[in-house]
Structure 1
Amino acid sequence: MRKKVAFDIGFWVFLWLLFSFSFMRFQPIVQSFGTAALVIFPFTIPIYIHYYIFGYFIMRKQYILYLLSTTFLVVFFGYLIGEFQHYMDPDGEAETYGAILLFMLLYTGAHYFMTGTQQRMKIKQEEDRRANIEMELRELESKQAIAELDLLKSQVNPHFLFNSLNSIYSLIITDSATASDAVLKLSDLMRYILDSSKKRKVLVKHEIQFIENYVDLEKIRLGSKAKVSYKFGGDMGGKIISPMLLIPFVENCFKHGIGVHYSENKIDVALEMSDNTLILNTSNNIAPKRINPDRKKSGTGIENVRKRLNLLYPQKHDLEIEIKDNKYEVILKLDI
């Protein structure tokens, strides 16, 4: 309402000053202001009536009624204002009909232009507000996802460290000469874990080297107690991957695939890079003492890596886990 009043005051003051300066060419300054007021005042009535009928008829798409009512306004008030001006200045000439039409269209057009500008500004402000809210939500979701990923990685690392220390402990008891080589490999592994924990992505070849060191460490520990084979193929150059994403599947082989019957302990790890698709295939015979036909779910490590895959590679991975004939097999296809 205040904006409407301010607009009206500004509109009429502008017309009053415009006419006043125009009359100053023929009249004294004080008289020019008075004459301009007498000329403009009669136009206020038809202008405000036109503003009302414009909003009433045009918004209802009753264009013919609008044209008829506007024509009536111009003719009726044009005649009355013309008579009034002739009374005030018998020798003057009045251009009332054209002036009424011009002022009506000027006022209504300026008002709706201002209203439309205000609406556009409100829409823009609302769009900006929604964009800011969406951006804040995305940042919040991103921070939440990063926090969850950090939590999952922190769950992976202690678990891996525990298994590795167990391996070193076994080597110290059984073969102290080999233990030194195992300690070096473990130091490389831990260095990689510490470095990669600070990064969101690492080179695939570094992740593969990490897995190779882990498998070598397990082979040293197990000796002849298991048949372990692993192979890596394809062009890994320049490819990147989220760190510590593949190791849980390899760990799982050694965790569940080693039993008391050495001849049945067989573990295969294969990783291949085909174009931009990384394919990991692991398989192991399930140790008899660990077989539980009623339990189909995997452990915490596999569940954690499932969550990480869903967060980091949504719609870009395919994970298949099959337990059949005492054999546990994993096939992971990852678009990177």
Structure 2
Amino acid sequence: MANLLLIYINVIMVKRPYLLDRQFILKNLYRGIYFMFFSTGYFVFKRTQVEKREKEQLKELHLQNIIKQQKTEQELVKSHNSLLKAQINPHFLFNTLDFIYHTMTNNVQIASDAVIHLSRIMRFAIDSDHMGEVICLGTEIKHVETLFSLYQLRNIKTEIRLNYPPEILSLPFIPLVLLTLAENMIKHGEFSNPQQQAVIDFLYENDTLTITTRNVQSKNINIHSSKLGLNNVRKRLKYKYGKQVSLNYSILNEVFTLILNVPGIRGHHFSDDTDSR
């Protein structure tokens, strides 16, 4: 029809009559199909490009949401970890202050030495919030020895042996765990029999740290004890090292045994702000 119009206004000149016959219809139908195919292909191409951009935007948005969610979860874990640590800290302070209070009237020198030991331990407990997520295990072992010295001032029979190979001193480990285990031994242990000495054994094999504590359980222990310290330690360990970590304890013939296993401990590096003093 367009051709007929152009012929009518003398834009197209023809030497023969322009008839609406079969040849005319087929020729123009071909042209129509050709342009329809071209325009459809262009439309599909543009639509595909728009959908591709939308998918890329959705994918990027989804990735950003995942990253944001992971950061939020990490912050929650960090906050919960700090809360658990805060629940542990007063454990050392209250017990020791009670000892110093009752010792002050009988032996000022022992009480004075106890204050010095306590100040070192509490400084370490307070500074642990600024040491990063992990510290050198040897740092905490040093403060555990200070803790034992503190309790030996109170009771000369309170002696706990630490057995460890030198290579574990540089292992990265979360702070206050070992101190809590040691304080738990002192709080609930019986040390009157020198033949049944309390021990803390350290073993490091195949990148797995194993800490075993063993002591005779005191007959005056509260059977309804909530074991808040040990439960908090277990939660902190699982937050940091995952489900592969295990902390189990048992009582056999009045001997309390605790076994802590932490696989892949070398994979947890020190933070930039770690204080390994």
Q: With structure 1 as the length reference, what TM-score do the two structures score?
A: 0.66
Select which of 152, 158, 163 maps to 2:84: 152
Select which of 106, 114, 118 maps to 1:186: 118
Select which of 67, 70, 75 maps to 1:143: 75
Query: Aligned residue pairs: how many?
Result: 251
CA deviation profile, 1:153-197 (whole Å, cap 9, x unmatched): 111111111122234335434543333333322222122112112
Asked if the contact 1:319–1:333 (Cα under 8 Å) also holds between the matched residues in 2, the reply is yes
Q: What letter is aligned with 1:267? A: A
Report the Cα distance in structure 1 between the residues aligned to 2:170 and 2:29, rounded to whole angstroms.
80
Distance 1:223 1:311, change over 3 A: same
Is residue 269 from structure 1 mapped to residue 192 from structure 2 by the alignment?
no
* Partner residue, 2:47: 115
Which runs of structure 2 are paired with 1:24-63 in the superposition (5 Å)?
A: none
* Partner residue, 1:328: 256
Give the number of the structure whose alpha-carbon radius of gyration is greater. Answer: 1
Asked if the contact 1:81–1:96 (Cα under 8 Å) also holds between the matched residues in 2, the reply is no
Distance 1:213 1:272, change over 3 A: farther
* Partner residue, 2:175: 243
Asked if the contact 2:148–2:159 (Cα under 8 Å) also holds between the matched residues in 1, the reply is no
CA deviation profile, 1:132-156 (whole Å, cap 9, x unmatched): 3222222221221111111111111
Q: What letter is aligned with 1:233? A: P
Structure 1: 5+ residue stretches without partners: 1-79
Q: What letter is aligned with 1:223? A: I
Q: What letter is aligned with 1:320? A: N
Report the Cα distance in structure 2 between the residues aligned to 1:165 and 1:288, rounded to whole angstroms.
24
Asked if the contact 1:202–1:241 (Cα under 8 Å) also holds between the matched residues in 2, the reply is yes
Deviation at 1:106, TM superposition (A): 2.0
CA deviation profile, 1:36-66 (whole Å, cap 9, x unmatched): xxxxxxxxxxxxxxxxxxxxxxxxxxxxxxx
Deviation at 1:284, TM superposition (A): 1.7
Report the Cα distance in structure 2 between the residues aligned to 1:239 and 1:117, rounded to whole angstroms.
54
Is residue 201 from structure 1 mapped to residue 134 from structure 2 by the alignment?
yes
Asked if the contact 1:281–1:329 (Cα under 8 Å) also holds between the matched residues in 2, the reply is yes
- Structure 1 vs Structure 2: percent identity of aligned residues? 25
Flag the structure with more relative contact order, 1 or 2, with Cα contacts below 8 A and sequence separation at least 6.
2
Report the Cα distance in structure 2 between the residues aligned to 1:122 and 1:186, rounded to whole angstroms.
62
User: Cα RMSD (Å) of the superposition?
Assistant: 2.9
Deviation at 1:279, TM superposition (A): 1.6
CA deviation profile, 1:60-93 (whole Å, cap 9, x unmatched): xxxxxxxxxxxxxxxxxxxx6666666662339x
Asked if the contact 1:201–1:242 (Cα under 8 Å) also holds between the matched residues in 2, the reply is yes
Distance 1:282 1:197, change over 3 A: same
Structure 2: 5+ residue stretches without partners: 16-23, 266-277
